[in-house]
A and B are shown apart, each in its own frame.
Chain A
Amino acid sequence: MTTTTAQPSAEKKNTAGFFIGLAVVIVLCFVTRYFYNIVKPMTLPGGIPGKVLEYPIWAAVIGLIFNWVFKKTNVHERLTPGFKTELFLKVGLILLGGKVSFKVLATAAGGAIIQGIIMVTCVYFFSWWLAGKFGLPDTLRAVMSTAVSICGVSAAIASAGAVLAKKEEITYVTALVIVTALPLMVIAPLIARAMDMPEAVAGAWFGGNVDTTAAVVGAGTIYGETAETIASIVKQTQNVLIGVVAFFLAYYFVAKEGEGERPSLSIIWQRFPKFVLGFILASLLFTFGVISKDNTSYKVIQNIKAWFFCAAFVCMGLELSVAEFKKMGWNPVIVYLIVTLFNTLLALGISYLIFGWLFPVNL
C-alpha cells in the first residue's frame, strides 16, 4: 500500500522538480545574457577587452554560484531533474549543423576520424596502463579510460554499462570529468591565443583534448566561429566511437570473467549518438539551400542555438560536485590529471599535423 502511494508522489515531485529546475536554468540564461552584453563593450582592469569574457564563461560561473546557493539552501537535489546539460547541448549542436556545409563537414570529419582513432587508442591504453600501476579496480579503469579518451560523461555511462561498473564509479568519474573540463574550457583558448593557433587547428585541439562535449563547444565558442564548428565536428566524430569501444569492452570483460552473454554488434548502434544524425541532416539542409545565409531562418536558428548552448553551460556549472572525491581517495584524481595532460599534449601535436597540414579546412 505504501509503495503504490509513494511512487506517484515521488514521480509528481520529480516532474515538479523538472519544471522548476528548467525555469531556473532559463532565468540564469537571461542573467548570463545580461552580464555578457553589459561587459562586452567595456574595458576591464589591465586593459583587457570585455569581449574576451564570452558567454560560456559567464554561464558556467553563474551556474557555479547558484550551484553553491542551491546546495546551501538544500534545494539543489529537488531542482536537478531540470538540469538537462546533454539535451540542451544536443539540440544546440543540431542547430549548429544548420550553418555547416556538407563539404566542410566531410573534410573536417575525414581529419577527425584519423585524429579520433589515434587519440582514442593512445589515450585509452595509456590511461588503462597508468590506472593499473596505481592499483585502481578494472571497472573504474575502464570507465575512466573511456571517459578521458572519448567524451566524458556519456562515454563513461556507455562503458559502465558494458563492464557493469558500480554506480559510485560512474558518479565519481562524471564529477572528475566536469571538474577538469570546466577550467580547461577557459584555459585552452587562452593557450591557443598565446600560441597564435589557427582557428581550425585550435578547434581540433579542443575537440581532441577537452573531455565533455559541452566544454569543447564552450572552448570553441570562446576562441571563434570556425573553432566552434571544427571543435563540434571533431568531438561528435569521437562520440561516434563510443559504441565501438563499448562493444570491445563488453567483449573483453565477458571473456575475462568467463561468464555472461557475448555482446552482439547491435551494441554499436544502441550506443551510437543519434543526435549526430540530426547534425548531418541539418548540414544537408544548409548545403542544399533550404537554410540560407540570406534568409532570416539562418539567423533565427543560430540565435536559438546560442540559448541552448548557454543553458548547457549553465547546467555544467550547476551540476559540478566534488563530494564524490572524498569517497574514493585521491589516486584516481592523480591518474586522471596525468592522463589529461598526456591527452592535451598529444592532441596538440596531432591537431597541427592533421588540421594544419593534412586536412586544412577553410570556412
Chain B
Amino acid sequence: MKLTEDWLSVIIGFGIIIVAVLGVLQPGWFAF
C-alpha cells in the first residue's frame, strides 16, 4: 500500500502526540 500524504500526516501528528504525552519534550523548546 502506498503511503499517502494523508496517512503520513496522521503518523507524524501522532508521533508528536505520543512523544509529548511521554513527557520527553518541554513547551519552552517550541514557543512560537
Query: Which A residues fall within an 8 A CB radius of B?
Result: 33, 36, 55, 84, 86-87, 90-91, 94-95, 98, 273-275, 277-278, 281-282, 285, 290-291, 295-297, 299-301, 303-304, 306-307, 310
Contact = CB atoms under 8 A, between A and B. Distances in A.
16 contacts: A90-B13, A94-B10, A94-B13, A94-B17, A274-B10, A277-B10, A278-B13, A285-B17, A290-B21, A291-B21, A295-B23, A297-B20, A297-B23, A299-B27, A300-B20, A300-B26
Nearest to A292: B21
Given A297-B20, A303-B32, A95 B13 contact: yes
Nearest to A55: B32
Contacts of A307: 30, 32
B19 to A, nearest CB: 8
Given A98-B17, A301-B20, A307-B32, 9 more contacts: A86-B5, A87-B5, A87-B9, A90-B6, A274-B10, A275-B6, A282-B13, A295-B21, A304-B30
Interface of B is mostly: helix
A274 B27 contact: no
Contacts of B14: 94, 278, 281-282
Contact of A303 (B4, B12, B13, B31): B31
A301 B16 contact: yes
Contact of B4 (A94, A274, A281, A291): A274
Nearest to B21: A297
B25 A300 contact: yes
B17 A301 contact: yes
A300 B13 contact: no
Interface of A is mostly: helix
A91 B13 contact: yes
Contacts, number: 84
Nearest to A37: B32
A238 B14 CA distance: 23
What 10 A-B pairs have minimum CB-CB distances, sorted nearest first? Answer: A94-B13, A90-B9, A299-B27, A303-B30, A274-B6, A306-B32, A278-B10, A297-B20, A300-B20, A300-B25
A33 B32 contact: yes
A95 B8 contact: no
A273 B6 contact: yes
B12 A91 contact: yes
B16 A275 contact: no
A297 B30 CA distance: 12
A275 B17 CA distance: 14
A110 to B, nearest CB: 24
Contacts of A282: 13-14, 17
A276 to B, nearest CB: 9
Nearest to A86: B5
A274 to B, nearest CB: 4
A273 B8 CA distance: 12
Contact of A300 (B5, B6, B7, B27): B27
B9 A304 contact: no
A289 to B, nearest CB: 11
